[in-house]
């Protein structure tokens, strides 16, 4: 998890969870394909264009609205590996960490399509297109462990020595 690199998808302030994944898509039949519906109402066709490893750059209060874990799951299923935003809604932030989605709280400059690199260990975001860099507060060790494990449930299984099979 030390370094992540990907292409930028750009958003503004106050992107809420209903924009990320519409409420009507939160039925049990869709749990394994939430990524297909990511941003479908505000950016139709985006989910089909996202490549594994892409990132979102946004403004203030990303993930506001409902406290559903489906929103960060939809991002991850679509291929988004990180979100960089000036600030995050508290519940979205924790839901994301709990499932292993990397969130970086930093105000940066990036345009849609720019190449971005995040050095999680050093706390640095670099826009490879412009050459500009920004720093962000590093995660505490327990959060880095959660993300490295792929989320809270995987971390618990690792700690207990569970393999998931008998």
Domain of 93: which CATH number? 3.20.19.10
Q: With cut-offs at 50, 70 and 90, classify the pLDDT of residue 166.
A: very low
Q: Is residue 115 part of a domain?
A: yes
Q: Which of 91-95, 110-114, 141-145 has the highest mean pLDDT?
A: 110-114
Instruction: Give a yes or no: residue 8 inside a domain.
Output: yes
Count of domains observed in the chain:
1
Q: Are 101 and 76 in contact (CB under 8 A)?
A: yes
Q: What is the pLDDT of residues 12-40, one digit of tens each?
A: 999 999 999 998 888 767 678 999 999 99
Please report where in the chains the tokens 């979205």 appear, as a residue. Answer: 92
123 in a structural domain = yes
Sign of the torsion angle spanned by Cα atoms 85, 74, 156, 161: negative
Domain assignment of residue 119, yes or no: yes
Domain carrying residue 101? 3-138
In a domain, 105, yes or no: yes
Asked if residue 25 is part of any domain, the answer here is yes
Determine, yes or no, domain membership for 70. Answer: yes
Provide the b/e sequence for 78-99 (b: ≥16 CB within 10 Å).
Answer: bbbbbbbbebbbebbbbbbbbb
pTM score, whole prediction = 0.88
**pLDDT (tens digit, 9 = 90+) per residue, 123-151?**
999 999 999 999 998 887 777 777 776 66
Residue 109 lies in a domain: yes
**Which of 120, 89, 125 shows the shortest CA–CA distance to 110?**
125
């Amino acid at each position: 998890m030390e370094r992540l690199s990907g292409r930028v998808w750009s958003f503004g302030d106050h992107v809420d969870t209903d924009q990320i994944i519409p409420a009507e898509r939160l039925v049990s039949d869709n749990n394994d394909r939430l990524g297909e519906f990511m941003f479908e109402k505000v950016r139709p066709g985006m989910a089909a264009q996202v490549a594994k490893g892409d990132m979102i750059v946004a403004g203030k209060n990303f993930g506001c609205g409902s406290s559903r874990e489906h929103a960060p799951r939809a991002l991850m299923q679509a291929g988004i590996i990180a979100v960089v935003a000036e600030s995050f809604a508290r519940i979205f932030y924790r839901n994301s960490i709990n499932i292993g989605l990397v969130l970086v709280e930093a105000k940066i400059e990036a345009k849609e399509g720019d190449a971005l690199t995040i050095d999680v260990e050093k706390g640095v975001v670099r826009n490879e297109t412009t050459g500009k860099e920004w720093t962000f507060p590093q995660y505490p060790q327990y959060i880095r462990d959660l993300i490295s494990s792929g989320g809270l449930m995987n971390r618990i299984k690792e700690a207990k020595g569970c393999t998931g099979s008998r």
